[in-house]
Amino acid sequence: MSASTLTIGQLGNAAGVNVETVRYYEKVGLIQPPPRSASGYRHYPAGVVHRLHFIRRGRELGFTIEEIRALLTLAHHPDEPCAQADLLARQHLAEVEAKIADLTRMRDELSKLAFCDGHAVHDCRLLDALSCHDDHCSVEAVSASPT
């Protein structure tokens, strides 16, 4: 193989991305289909590793594939204003903060329930919290089990 090209395995190794994932990124159009050898093997120009780096870092920050697609396009136009990229970042930050708030609510509730000093199910904090407290409803009322 030519010294200046990489197999898909070498590319994946260099960029820290699974081989299957590289093929997936090709399928969804994040990276270009590379030239193939006579037997059908992909041979990547060395520069592609940087594009994969970019994608991987974007994923580590939680950007979606579509957001990364947009950011890649923006990165190709270095002289244009970056307002669009910053907007994406701020929107994504807002989503991340919303998820944190959601999980924090769960964590606070769970930490009240997970360390239960009841010794039987009918005194369990967790199962009590999940059951509803209508007059005609109790832990035991969650019946009609399918199993």
Residues that bind Zn ion in the complex, under the rule CB under 5 A: 50, 53, 82, 86, 116, 118, 124, 132, 134, 137
| Residue whose CB is less far from DNA, 21 or 84 | 21
23 near DNA (CB under 7 A)? yes
99 near a second copy (CB under 8 A)? yes
Kindly report the three-state secondary structure assignment for every residue of the chain.
CCCCEECHHHHHHHHCCCHHHHHHHHHCCCCCCCCECCCCCECEECCHHHHHHHHHHHHHCCCCHHHHHHHHHHHCCCCCCCHHHHHHHHHHHHHHHHHHHHHHHHHHHHHHHCCCCCCCHHHCHHHHHHCCCCCCCCHHHCCCCCC
Binding-site member from 4, 32, 35, 66 for DNA (CB under 7 A): 66
Q: What is the residue whose two structure tokens read 């199910």?
A: 121
Contact present, 6 and 46 (Cβ < 8 Å): yes
Cβ 10 to DNA shortest distance, Å: 6
| Residue whose CB is less far from Zn ion, 100 or 132 | 132
72 near DNA (CB under 7 A)? no
Cβ 7 to a second copy shortest distance, Å: 17
Binding-site partner at residue 2 among a second copy, Zn ion, DNA, none, CB < 5 to 8 Å by type: none
**Binding stretches for DNA (CB under 7 A):** 1, 7-10, 18-21, 23-24, 36-42, 59, 64-66
